Chains A and B, each alone.
Chain A
Amino acid sequence: MIINLKLLGWVGLIGLLLVGPAKADDWPMWRADANRSASSPEELPEQLHLQWTRQYSPRVQVWDDPLNHDLMSYDRVFEPVVLGERVLIGFNDTDKVVALDLRSGKELWAFYTDGPVRFAPVAWQEKVYFTSDDGHLYCVGAADGQLKWKLRGGPSAQKVLGNQRVISAWPARGGPVLRDGRVYFAASIWPFMGTFIYAVDAETGKVAWVNDGTGAQFIKQPHNAPSFAGVAPQGALVATKDILLVPGGRSIPAAFNRHTGEFLHYNLAVSGKGNGGSFVAANETEYFVHTRLRGVRNYELKSGKAGKLTNSEPVLDGTAFYTAGTNKLGALVRSINGTNTLWEVKADASGDLIKAGQRLYAAGSNSLTAIALTANPLQARVAWTQPLPGGAERLLAANGVLLAVSLDGRIRAFGAEKVKPATLRDEPKLSQPDDAAVAKAKSILAAADTSEGYALWLGADDGALLQSVIANSKLNVLAVEPDAARVDVLRRRLDAAGLYGKRATAHIGDAASFMAPPYVANLIVVGESSVPRLRVAEALRAAFKSLRPFGGVMLLPVSGGAQAEFKQLVEAAKLERAKVTTAEGHLLVTREGALPDAADWTHQYGDVGNTVKSDDARVKAPLGLLWFGGSSNMEVLPRHGHGPPEQVIGGRLIIQGMSSFSARDVYTGRMLWKTEFTDLGTFGIYFDKSYTNTPLSTAYNQRHIPGANGRGANYVATEDAVYVVVGSACQMLDAKTGKLRQTIQLPPRTGDGSGPEWGYIGLLDNVLLAGDGFANYTQKFGSVVKSNTIEDFSASAGLAAFDRHSGKLLWRVPARYSFLHNGIVAGNGRIYCLDKLPGSAEDKLKRRGSPLPSDYRVAALDAATGKPLWEQSKDIFGTWLSYSKQHDVLLLAGAKASDRLKDEVGEGMTAYRGAEGKILWQDLKRKYTGPCILHNELILTSANSYQASSGAFKLLDGTPHLIQNPLTGKLEPWRVSRAYGCNSIVASENLLTFRSGAAGFYDLLSQSGTGNLGGFRSSCTANLVVANGVLNAPDYTRTCTCSYQNQTSLALVHMPEMELWAYTQFGLDATDGDRIERVGINFGAPGDRRAADGTMWLDYPSVGGDSPTVPVSVTGKGMNYFRRHALQASGEGLPWVASSGIRDCETITITPEIFRPSITKPPRSKDDDEDEGKFGSGKSTTAKDQTVTPAAALTDSTPKTKKTAPRAPHPPAPYTVRLHFADPEAMAVGERVFSVALQGQPVLANFDVVAVAGAPHRGVVREFKGVIIGKDLKISFTRAPGAKAGPVLSGVELLAEKPLVVK
């Protein structure tokens, strides 16, 4: 009997060893596997009992508004995985991955990264892989959390402020997935920064392939508008057998060949409203993408074609499909086959649904249900339901344990044993800094006179002082310390104190290597140990670069002779606007005032002169990220209301909401203050009753109304105050605090019983201008009634002036008819007013048979006294005045464009000398789209969607501005064109900014053409405002639910190394067949770009856009194009030429002749508004608008294809030919060898790019002079015998050696 028992025991043990481990399955990645199926073979125990609860704090999602919360829910709750006996969890606040013991919940180890860990790790073969916002993929040992290797996804260590955290400019938010021994991840969420998608050997960390050429794809965006705005990885990647799916943030995912990285599809435009989001799961025929709430839509895996099925996030098990739903009886779980429901059982799976073994587990709002599946696919039954207080949002099953994760930060483990469950919780361990540290901290804060914002701490030393500063201020501290051990200690101490990630982070590095974001720091504290490092000018400059303008302070703990020494160092380093002062034991370096060459944007059109231009010359293309995230669009007016743009001055962005004003830091996006008003009186003007506040619905909208395009802005900002019109008064807010400082009341006019109303607002020096009552045409002339009465608010009945400081009324003058708000400008001590009736009032007079007034006028008033200086009443037309202070020229014009008042006109220009009113020139028949931009000596006209502008005209004489076409050498009118854009073009010294599908720009310096800042859109208000040294892009897209990749605020600065792609408008007025004088053909490039030396590089094959054609033909068996991100290339020539090219070509024939482009045709209105609802609201202009739209008028000025007679062949001419090479692959010397001939003449023999360049991805340029070209240039390539790879070429540059046209 005893023997038998022993035997039984042994048998049992052996059985456990054999059966147990065989049944134990991990949950190694998010939703169980690479398909994200949420289905595991793990058979959990029959009954489950709570084993332990780990209580953490609830997660704060990375994005910050209801729609983004829904679309990108990847860090909404903890997303653990399980490997063996370990639970592995990423933390999006404390930047770490933690391993817990599966059985007890006790922490085993923690590994810190340099940024938030927002995605579930992947576990495989005793290793754990995870990505971080620091831009890296990490591999650590599962047993001890020790780093095995890490791989940076982006091209450099550059940091930005992203979602209020200092992170990589290329954060790794393509969450990792593992299949067949490879880990896949992606870095960068912004296409304009380049996006980087990797396949990495999981064992070694060696890159198997990288695709970094899809960020700048020229593809259709929402509204079917083409833009340079491609794949934007954000979400957990999905690896099917052959296809890698890369979620696209708010958009649908992109698909790549999993084995090679080849791009397959990204059908962004057709996804429509309501489809897209970070959730993606797939089987081997379909994938499923987030719609709204927990819904998904199906798409064909191979083609990306959208299906019509919508369900809740499914469990995918081979061909089986389980999903949660509801019917009139309540919550249920159902099995579906296509459109057929196989079975339904009553169970609440509103939290999560997974399959483990032969059971489904459903987490509801307060329950946990097990559903037993049977062999019969048409049957299932509820095995049990047990209470689950608080519910759960994520379930996972592994190794006999069911983990349930809830929104409140709890992780609960359920197992077979009935035990007394443990609750584990980490209490903050606050350490009290000593008195000396506190005193020192206070002295630092006092010396720097700052207590908010961001502090950069260079050299953390022991961290005590740092902690004291945190305790005595509201600063967010970023410690950068070269000593890894110190950093580790500091991290753990701050984490234990509950401060890490919330108030402070620590990083290994120094001022130069860390590459902190520019302008981020209100305060830089140099630790004593790091003082010597700053004696190096490079380090000093690097530190100073991060100092905020307008008073950021760097504090060095030096005294005595060291102070003098550092003073000299600062002077020698030529730090911009640095002021050095000393205090007891400290030297303070203050970054004073604005950035050099920067300027402000105040008023609706930039300044009180309506120039529509910022004088900021600091911002220029190419541009890169400074910060993103932060305050959402919830504090902004609805986009279709066309409210005023932000005003930017003194380092503050002043932004208007429905009933509020707020100020944000230009350099970090940080909210500085917000002031609520009871009623700003803007209902019916900047928004109306068509506004619906339903962010999770496609009905979330506001119809298009002219808004501030008609009324103008209702506020104006200065460095010290913000003046806000409310009713009959102007509320003067303190610019620093937002608190009310003064109310300036507009007194009633004598005999005016209706009471005063403050209409227009503007500011010239210290004279605050007030529109003295709205024109109210409806009352004055009557009107056929309609709800939109913005015309009534588009002009003032008179003008009053106040001293802006004292509020004293200086003068007031009545209008003869009405002062149109867009026709009130000022400068050089004078006020100019356009005094007339708008077209709608004139129409009314016509309908009564009354004569139209004949004494309209443009009047000039003295700003100080209001006395008339001069007036002109001949040929007064239009709706617009702008004034060039620089040239003393007043322009009378119109401002007709989409979404502006119907009263606007788009014809005629008159220029007056501002001083005396003399007409300088006049063209009453000139047609254009407005508002016109006064850009130094030029008038730049605007362009509506899918139009080219009428061009530019010289301010002083009105003649067309011609520029030399770099391709032909001929002069032609300057033009800009764009795709869909619901705002107006605005300017700065070096850029035009606008919407062209995505956010768009035109680089005035290089004249490359129209480009994009891909990955977001600008608003229907022209919100891409260059000012204070930054391209400001606060999120003005409230009510937009289009699936642009990102929807948030951001700011950009000049980054010369970044890519810039455009489609050039050169050639719009060329004659087909004109000879090319100079051109670059950039093979495989995403777009066109003009080089600093003047060569216009055209993409081949052409991606589209309104760019001209230069005939090119290519032959070659198996020839193919490649494209890398330009930041990956170096060497001779241009990196953005070397980074793409053609492989395996045999001949290339180029005909150096130009063929005119045609303007891209708009999609039909129905398609255009496909994503705007049933009938769309994107273009809800009135019927009358359509009959008089300037589109028709502009047709005359847009080029038409000329039928020209066959022309004589061009005579042969000598050209210099430059061939640009770079090897795109990791080839060894001798593996790719080829010869090249031009016009049949050998020019390169046995050419080996890698041998010459020294490495792959390095450019080599070879120049050949005196190549005679008749009709064509023919380039021939011959692969060397035995070469492993065929010929490669990146670009060809042709330069005529003699001018071909008389200039």
Chain B
Amino acid sequence: MSAGHQIQESAGSRAGEKVKNQCATRPSQFLLALAIALSLLFSRNAAQACSVPVFRYALEKWAADEYQAIVFHRGPLTTAQQALMQPLDGEGLSGQPTANISLQTVDLAQNHDPALLAQWQKLGSDTLPALLLKYPQKSRLTAQLFAGPLTAAAVQQVLDSPARREIVRRIAQGDSVVWVFLETGDAARDEAAAKVATARLGYLTTVLKLPTIEAQDIASGLVSVPKDGLKLTFSLLRMNRKDAAESVFARMLLHSEPDLLELQEPMLFPVFGRGRALYALAGKGINHETLDEAATFLTGRCSCEVKELNPGLDLLLTADWAGLIKAQSDGSRATLLQQQATAAAAALAPETVTIIGGPAPAPGPTQLPLLPAAAGALVALLFAGYLWWRKE
């Protein structure tokens, strides 16, 4: 399937149900035991961590850093120009929530701040008003994400794109992590990498187990979902780096680490929380070991009050996160999702891949730690055997 034609529902939650349903059968007892044993291998959690997994804690507690929009102009802005800027200034696009962005206007006739003037000159165009988009200050990234005349299309391009809308929709739907797969355009390499990712993530959804959320953490307001309110769900979102509709978003991802722009490799960005990209896996870096590590981290217990101490870059997304969280917790999810789906359907969407739990793939070059895994499996086998024996 080529990029940008169809949206598929991710179905990790169904994968969870599937495992549950299979529990009635004897072989499933074995699988369950195996899953428990293997998941224990991944849950190396400290006693003092809270019980909320990282991806959820990030959604609940980590406000997204604000991107910086600067509009350069000379003299007063017209009413129409001011209206153009409104979506950048806390109002959001028409009918949509606000984005994590702040706006600064610079009147070149009055403001002679050398730093700002230097930024303006760097744009390399005399057309005014001009829009400049920069990463959040906290990120310390200096790349220009967008630079051009202030137009309605530019504002739209900066704030919105199908892939970003889809990310929001999936997180709103309950996806734990949306794995954004950035294609190179080289089908063979893309497919190979996507296959590795899809298979491994599918496998991981069967063996990873979310921590049980403790009542105390719910009472403390660390999380707004009930004890069993979380499901482990991964989905893959494929996107072509040359897709014009995603140009700002692709640039945002490709500039998030200094070497990415130069790499002509498929890339994978685990996106969680309020649209935070953990980091990039690229080329052969998309492998079992790195996927396991990223997935284990994001689904593990969090003790992450201090967002800044954790890796990741907040993406520029248009979303009412507080509303989404509330909708998830108070049961108004259906309505919300409907709205999101309607909005998403209105735009061209990137290709998505459904991650469903499946059997463990053939051992790759980097597997789970062999000895502990074997030990876990042995324990599980013994346990399953015990269950079988009792059943008999």
Known: A846-B289, A1162-B47. A786 touches B257 (CB 8 A): no
B46 with A787: CB separation less than 8 A: no
The CA-CA distance from A846 to B288 in the complex, in Å, is 11
User: A1205 an interface residue at 8 Å Cβ cutoff?
Assistant: no
State which residues 836-861 of A face B: CB under 8 Å: 843, 846-850
Q: Within 8 Å CB of A1175, what residues of B?
A: 305
User: B281 an interface residue at 8 Å Cβ cutoff?
Assistant: yes
B284 with A1166: CB separation less than 8 A: no
A1165 with B49: CB separation less than 8 A: yes
Report B142 CB to chain A, min CB distance, Å.
Answer: 11
Report A945 CB to chain B, min CB distance, Å.
Answer: 8
Task: Please tell me the size bucket of the interface on B.
Answer: 35 or more
A785 with B305: CB separation less than 8 A: no
B310 with A1183: CB separation less than 8 A: yes
A1180 with B48: CB separation less than 8 A: no
Closest-by-CB residue of A relative to B48 is A1165
The CA-CA distance from A997 to B109 in the complex, in Å, is 61
Q: Within 8 Å CB of B305, what residues of A?
A: 1175-1177, 1180
Report B138 CB to chain A, min CB distance, Å.
Answer: 6
Report B314 CB to chain A, min CB distance, Å.
Answer: 10
B48 with A1179: CB separation less than 8 A: yes
A1180 with B216: CB separation less than 8 A: no
Report B257 CB to chain A, min CB distance, Å.
Answer: 4
B308 with A1188: CB separation less than 8 A: no
User: A125 an interface residue at 8 Å Cβ cutoff?
Assistant: no
User: A472 an interface residue at 8 Å Cβ cutoff?
Assistant: no
Closest-by-CB residue of A relative to B259 is A782
User: A85 an interface residue at 8 Å Cβ cutoff?
Assistant: no
B285 with A849: CB separation less than 8 A: yes
Closest-by-CB residue of A relative to B306 is A1180
Q: Within 8 Å CB of B57, what residues of A?
A: 1183
B310 with A786: CB separation less than 8 A: yes
The CA-CA distance from A1177 to B277 in the complex, in Å, is 25
The CA-CA distance from A1184 to B285 in the complex, in Å, is 19
Task: Please tell me the size bucket of the interface on A.
Answer: 35 or more
Known: A785-B141, A787-B308, A1182-B310. A848 touches B300 (CB 8 A): no
User: B50 an interface residue at 8 Å Cβ cutoff?
Assistant: yes
User: B81 an interface residue at 8 Å Cβ cutoff?
Assistant: no
Of the candidates B277, B282, B308, which one forms a contact with A788 in the assembled complex, judged by CB atoms under 8 Å apart? B308
A848 with B45: CB separation less than 8 A: no
A1166 with B220: CB separation less than 8 A: yes
User: A1202 an interface residue at 8 Å Cβ cutoff?
Assistant: no
Of the candidates A783, A846, A1181, A1186, which one forms a contact with B285 in the assembled complex, judged by CB atoms under 8 Å apart? A846
Known: A1165-B50, A1165-B303, A1186-B302. A1192 touches B44 (CB 8 A): yes
B46 with A785: CB separation less than 8 A: no
User: B24 an interface residue at 8 Å Cβ cutoff?
Assistant: no
Q: Within 8 Å CB of A1180, what residues of B?
A: 303, 305-306, 309
B285 with A1183: CB separation less than 8 A: no
Beta-carbon contacts of B231-261 to A below 8 Å, as 1s and 0s?
0000000000000000000000000111110
Beta-carbon contacts of B317-342 to A below 8 Å, as 1s and 0s?
00000000000000000000000000
A787 with B138: CB separation less than 8 A: yes
Q: Within 8 Å CB of B301, what residues of A?
A: 1183, 1186-1187
A849 with B284: CB separation less than 8 A: yes
B48 with A847: CB separation less than 8 A: no
A786 with B47: CB separation less than 8 A: no
Q: Within 8 Å CB of B76, what residues of A?
A: none
B279 with A1183: CB separation less than 8 A: no
Report B97 CB to chain A, min CB distance, Å.
Answer: 25
User: A284 an interface residue at 8 Å Cβ cutoff?
Assistant: no
Report A783 CB to chain B, min CB distance, Å.
Answer: 7
User: A703 an interface residue at 8 Å Cβ cutoff?
Assistant: yes
Most chain B CB within a 10 A radius of its CB, from A846, A850, A1162: A846
State which residues 201-249 of B face A: CB under 8 Å: 216, 220
User: B103 an interface residue at 8 Å Cβ cutoff?
Assistant: no
The CA-CA distance from A1186 to B296 in the complex, in Å, is 11
Most chain B CB within a 10 A radius of its CB, from A783, A846, A847, A1182: A847
State which residues 50-67 of B face A: CB under 8 Å: 50, 54, 57
Beta-carbon contacts of A1090-1131 to B below 8 Å, as 1s and 0s?
000000000000000000000000000000000000000000
B287 with A849: CB separation less than 8 A: yes
Report A206 CB to chain B, min CB distance, Å.
Answer: 52
The CA-CA distance from A705 to B283 in the complex, in Å, is 33
Closest-by-CB residue of A relative to B284 is A849
User: B290 an interface residue at 8 Å Cβ cutoff?
Assistant: yes
A846 with B48: CB separation less than 8 A: no
Of the candidates B49, B140, B263, which one forms a contact with A785 in the assembled complex, judged by CB atoms under 8 Å apart? B140
User: B312 an interface residue at 8 Å Cβ cutoff?
Assistant: yes
Q: Within 8 Å CB of B286, what residues of A?
A: 849
Q: Within 8 Å CB of A783, what residues of B?
A: 257
Q: Within 8 Å CB of B293, what residues of A?
A: 843
The CA-CA distance from A843 to B285 in the complex, in Å, is 10
Q: Within 8 Å CB of B309, what residues of A?
A: 703, 705, 786, 788, 1180-1182
B47 with A1191: CB separation less than 8 A: yes
Most chain B CB within a 10 A radius of its CB, from A784, A1168, A1189: A784
A848 with B263: CB separation less than 8 A: yes
User: A1164 an interface residue at 8 Å Cβ cutoff?
Assistant: yes
State which residues 788-843 of A face B: CB under 8 Å: 788, 843
The CA-CA distance from A1221 to B279 in the complex, in Å, is 69
User: B139 an interface residue at 8 Å Cβ cutoff?
Assistant: yes
User: A871 an interface residue at 8 Å Cβ cutoff?
Assistant: no
User: A1185 an interface residue at 8 Å Cβ cutoff?
Assistant: yes
Q: Within 8 Å CB of B48, what residues of A?
A: 1162, 1164-1165, 1168, 1179, 1186
State which residues 265-311 of B face A: CB under 8 Å: 265, 277-287, 289-290, 293, 296-297, 300-306, 308-311
B313 with A1186: CB separation less than 8 A: no
The CA-CA distance from A1209 to B234 in the complex, in Å, is 59
B278 with A784: CB separation less than 8 A: yes
Q: Within 8 Å CB of B44, what residues of A?
A: 1187-1189, 1192
B310 with A847: CB separation less than 8 A: no
The CA-CA distance from A1165 to B304 in the complex, in Å, is 12
Most chain B CB within a 10 A radius of its CB, from A1168, A1186, A1189: A1186
Q: Within 8 Å CB of B49, what residues of A?
A: 1165, 1183, 1186
A1186 with B300: CB separation less than 8 A: yes
Q: Within 8 Å CB of A1164, what residues of B?
A: 48, 216
State which residues 1258-1273 of A face B: CB under 8 Å: none
Most chain A CB within a 10 A radius of its CB, from B258, B290, B303: B303
Beta-carbon contacts of B128-146 to A below 8 Å, as 1s and 0s?
0000000000111100000
Closest-by-CB residue of B relative to A945 is B48
Closest-by-CB residue of B relative to A1178 is B48
Known: A1179-B48, A1183-B54, A1187-B44. A847 touches B281 (CB 8 A): yes
Q: Within 8 Å CB of A786, what residues of B?
A: 308-312
The CA-CA distance from A850 to B287 in the complex, in Å, is 11
The CA-CA distance from A516 to B139 in the complex, in Å, is 58
The CA-CA distance from A849 to B189 in the complex, in Å, is 14
| 23 A–B contacts from the bound complex (CB under 8 Å) | A690-B306, A704-B306, A781-B259, A783-B257, A784-B313, A786-B310, A848-B263, A848-B283, A849-B265, A849-B283, A849-B287, A1162-B48, A1164-B216, A1165-B49, A1166-B216, A1183-B54, A1183-B57, A1183-B297, A1185-B46, A1186-B302, A1187-B45, A1187-B297, A1191-B47
Q: A784-B313, A1180-B309, A1186-B49 are in contact. List 11 more A-B contacts (CB 8 A).
A: A781-B259, A784-B280, A785-B313, A846-B289, A848-B282, A848-B285, A849-B283, A1183-B303, A1186-B300, A1189-B44, A1192-B44
The 5 closest A-B pairs by CB, nearest first: A849-B284, A782-B258, A849-B285, A784-B279, A1183-B304
Q: Give B residues with C-beta under 8 Å from A.
A: 44-50, 54, 57, 138-141, 216, 220, 256-260, 263, 265, 277-287, 289-290, 293, 296-297, 300-306, 308-313
Q: Give A residues with C-beta under 8 Å from B.
A: 690, 703-705, 779, 781-788, 843, 846-850, 946, 1161-1162, 1164-1166, 1168, 1175-1177, 1179-1189, 1191-1192
